[in-house]
Each structure stands twice: as C-alpha cells, then as structure tokens.
Structure 1
Amino acid sequence: MSRKMFDLCGRDERLRFSPYCWRVKYALAHKGLDCDFIPWKFTDKDAIAFSGQSKVPVLVDGDTTVTDSYEIFRYLDRVYPERPLLGGDVAEARARFFKFYAERSLAPGVMRTILMDVFNAVHPEDRDYFRTSREKAFGRTLEEMHSPSQGLSMLDRALEPMRGRLDEAPFLEGDAAGASDYLVIGVFLWARVCSAADLVSNADPVYAWYHRMLDLHGGLGRNATRLVDIDGGYGG
C-alpha cells in the first residue's frame, strides 16, 4: 500500500487517541481511501524527521508527504476530488470555523476533564516528555490542571453553538456528515479512547450526533480500541 499515516499510539499500540489523527481517519473514510496507520509515540521524533516537523498526523501518499490535519483535508480534495470534504469557498470557510471552534472552545474543557486519563494512556516511554511539555505549556502540574467538574462546566457552555445547529440538522454539515463534523469529532474520540468520562447527557442533541458519528463509515469511531479494553483499564 502506497498510502500510510503516522498515528499517535499509547501504552498499547491499539490505543490511537490523537484528535488530529482521528480527523484524518474520518476524512480518508469519507473519500473511501485505504491507509496503513503506523503507530507512533511522542518521543519517536526521528521516525517523522523526513516530514520537516515533529508532530502527527503525517500522511505519506506515494512520493508526497503532507502534515497538519487541515492541510491533509485540502490535499485529499486536490488529489482525490470525488466526494469533496471542503468544497467551495463558503464550505471551506464553514470548515475553518469548526476547526478553530474544536481547538479553542471544545478542547480546553475536554482537556481539563480527561487530562490524567490521557496521562495514563500514553506510552511509558512518553510520560516524562508528556508531563514536562504540558506542564511547561500550562504553567502548572498535570494534577492541578485536571479538574473534571470545571472541565465539564467549560464544555457545557462551549457546546451551545453545536446544540443550536444540531436542533436543525442531524450533522453540522446538514443532512450528511462532512468536514465540519470530522474536524469536531476528533475531540470526542480523544476522550472516548482515553477516558470513561461522560461528556454530555443522553438528552443532549450533541449526544445523538456523537453516536451517529461513531457509527459512521462502518463504525469507525465505535470500533476504536479504548483504554478500558486494555488490561489494566483506567488504573494506569
């Protein structure tokens, strides 16, 4: 197979929890494109040095290497125009909004809710790196940042725009899922793989959307291996 993607893994290679990598998995499935997902750890910088940077996802498609989840969306539309992800200027502007909405409004609340679960999920060889890099960015310890009650409150407020849209349509894109949905679902898959936390109630329109997204593309998200599936579960 000529197409492969370096994909963040945890303490078990089956644990794939990067929200950015999940975006691309949904985009590839949307296009009907096969891909070999290569397990990668935070400290495996040498393995992706050829890409000129140090983060995943890294998509290698034949002789072409593409980094950054959103740039991969754009690349896939250029090279594989069937079933477009972004479409025209208006559709891409909408997708850009949801990209930033997921990263800047949803992710902070989710992070505060599941941070120590993520720490338990990362590979043992990555834990020093994860702790050091995150604590430097946060300006406080992981334990101080981990606050599920505060995180869920933040997330509840941040979900209001999604609730409004999902009262109108089954997906953020309308009657069928598209780029906006894929850009957002990555945050929820991050939590699903690493944590048992319930982010939304089953009466919330976001909950129904979330389960539609899990079942999409042959159960792509629902079939993902979770930390609870691994021996030791959430105990770390």
Structure 2
Amino acid sequence: MTEPIVLYDIPGKNPQYKAWSPSTWKTRFALAYKGLPFKTEWVEYPDIEGLCKKLGAPPTQKKRDGSPLYTVPVIYDPSTQTVVEDSWKIARYLDKTYPDTPRVIPENTGGLQAAYMSAFENAVSGHLYDLVVLAACNNLNPRSEEFFRTTREKSEGKKLEDIAPPGEEREKLLRAMYLGLNRVASWFDKNEGNGPFITGTSMTHADIATASRLIWAKVVLGEESEVWRAVVSWNGGRWDQYMKHFEKYEVLT
C-alpha cells in the first residue's frame, strides 16, 4: 500500500468524537483493527448521493418510494483504484485485498456473523435508535441536521422529539434495551469465559458491528447521559469492559 485508504464519513459536532455514525464506525474500526493506513474525507448528508455518483459507488438500498438510496461508509483504495460501498462489502474487500492483516470475516463464518447481527438488530437496535435519534440529529452540522430531521420525520411520521419523550415512554425504551442487551449477553456467555468476543478470543465484524452501535450512544448522548451510564452498568459492567477492547481502534484521522 503506497497511499492511505480514503474513508468517507459524516462529521458530527462532538469535539472529542467527530465520527459518530454507527454505520461508518464499522469500517473505521475494521481499518484500524487491520492496521491499514487510512484518512477521512468528511461529507455532509445532502452531498452523499452526489459524492457516490461521482465515485461510481452504487446505491446500497432503496427508499420507500423505490428510488435509490446512497449511503456511507464508502472507501476509495488508491492502491487498487477501487471504490467499495457498504460496511460488509468493505470488510470482505479488505480481507481479500490485504490477506496478511487480521481477518474480520474469517473463512466459513459469514453466515453465522450475519445471523448474529440480524439477531442483535432485533434485540437492541430499534430501542437504541429511538433513544438516540434526537441527539444524533442535534449532533450534526446545520445542513446535515436539516436533512436528517426532514428525512427521519417523514419516515417516522412524527417529530423526533416525540419518538422517545422524557418520562414513562423513555423509561420503557430503556428497559426494553436492557432486556435486549441482557439477551445478547446470554449469547456471549455460551463461550464459557473463553474470550470477550462473540466468537471467543478473536474480534470479528459481528463484534465491530456491536461496538459501533454502542459507541453511537456514547458519542451522541455523552458518557454522563442516563442511557450510557445505564449501559455500562448492565450485566455486571460487561459492556463497559467490552468497549475497552475497542478503545485502541478509535482512530479519528
């Protein structure tokens, strides 16, 4: 590799953690874990579609109206002149292109990792989204904040302030998130203490996806927030210890 890989990411206003998006943290963690040099080019939400079209990165999803949806993470690898979109595809590309680095999707684990990530989404992510979406919006620069609010409120059919209002509704969401993470903790316990990760001793894309969701709450809500203080206290401090394994990969270049 002669030049660093370019990671396209959305900037936030947190002075300590400009990177905030759980989607792009998946790739940020993967690049750092593999020890691959990279640099960030920041792009605001309204500019993502134009950037992807310019780079030749295809849409990753479809909107509800059937039109293409362009998202980040996207990387450009100058060593191979390759553009890759979507965190899973990026992880596959990095494993294949740089085989002398730690693999995040080891051979024959793709299906199991995908199943775990789907189960984690069902158990935790919906509740987490509701708890952090307003703070995520408020963490954005003005152009992205307006774009984020408009698109999310259209999708949700309500104001962001009404998704998880303080009081009983927010307490219910926090309880539901606790029950979800408690279920996830029971899956980790099947390893019988043989390593801190879902597959045991080795960090994989599934772990990276888990940590990326949790760091989202830490960054946009803050370490002193009710939600984050609750998360790091649950399951005997398991998630606090879990996230410490990722601190050395919190590369913010």
Q: TM-score, normalised by structure 1?
A: 0.83
Q: After the TM superposition, which of the residue ranges 161-170 and 58-67 deviates more from structure 2?
A: 161-170
Tell whether 2:201 aligns with 1:175: yes
1:25 CA displacement: 1.3
The secondary structure found in structure 2 opposite 1:43 is helix
User: What is the percent sequence identity of the aligned residues?
Assistant: 24
Mapped to 2, the partners of 1:103 and 1:9 lie a distance apart of: 24
**Alpha-carbon distance between aligned partners in 2 of 1:52 and 1:151, rounded to the nearest angstrom:** 35
What's 1:234 paired with?
Answer: none
Change (3 A) 1:191 1:74: same
CA distance in 2, matches of 1:2, 1:34: 5
Deviation at 1:182, TM superposition (A): 0.5
Could you say what secondary structure the match of 1:56 adopts?
coil
Q: Report which stretch shifted further, 96-105 or 34-43.
A: 96-105
Letter of the structure 2 residue corresponding to residue 204 of structure 1:
N
**Preserved CA contact (<8 Å) 1:106 1:187:** no
Taking the aligned partners of 2:99 and 2:125, their CA distance within structure 1 comes to 30
- Match of 1:159, SS? helix
Q: Is the 8 A contact 1:19 1:190 kept in 2?
A: yes
Determine if the alignment matches structure 1 residue 195 to structure 2 residue 221: yes
Aligned residues: 221
Cα distance in 2 for partners of 1:65, 1:201 equals: 37
TM-score by length of structure 2 reads: 0.78
**Separation in 2 of the partners of 1:97 and 1:210?**
24
Counterpart CA distance in 2 for 1:137 and 1:97 is 26
Query: Equivalents in 2 of 1:94, 1:145: separation in Å?
Result: 32
Deviations 1:60-80 (A, max 9, x none): 112101101111111111111
Cα shift at 1:203: 4.8
User: 2:64 maps to which residue?
Assistant: none
With over 3 angstroms needed to count, the CA separation of the structure-2 counterparts of 1:216 and 1:129, relative to structure 1, is: closer
Q: Distance in 2 between matches of 1:61 and 1:214?
A: 29
CA separation of 1:70 and 1:154: change in aligned 2, threshold 3 A: same
Whole-angstrom distance in 2 between the partners of 1:32 and 1:122:
29
Cα shift at 1:210: 4.1
Distance 1:210 1:22, change over 3 A: farther
Aligned match of 1:86: 105
Residues 104-153 of structure 1, C-alpha deviations (whole Å, 9 max, x = no match): 43221111112221121011112221111111211222111124323212
Asked if 1:48 is matched to 2:67, the reply is no
Cα pair distance change 1:93/1:120, threshold 3 Å: same
Unmatched tracts of structure 1, length 5 or more: 226-236
Aligned to 2:8: 6
Q: Which residue of 2 aligns with 1:69?
A: 87
Report the counterpart of residue 36 of structure 1 in structure 2. 39
Following the alignment from structure 1 to structure 2, what is the Cα–Cα distance between the partners of residues 217 and 30? 11
Corresponding residue for 1:232?
A: none
- Distance of 2:122 and 2:140 partners within structure 1: 23
Note if contact 1:21-1:57 (Cα within 8 Å) is conserved in structure 2. yes
Q: Which residue of 126, 131, 152 maps to 2:144?
A: 126
CA, structure 1 residues 81+224, in 2 after alignment: closer, same or farther (shift >3 Å)?
A: closer
What CA RMSD, in Å, does the superposition of the two structures yield over aligned residues?
Answer: 2.3
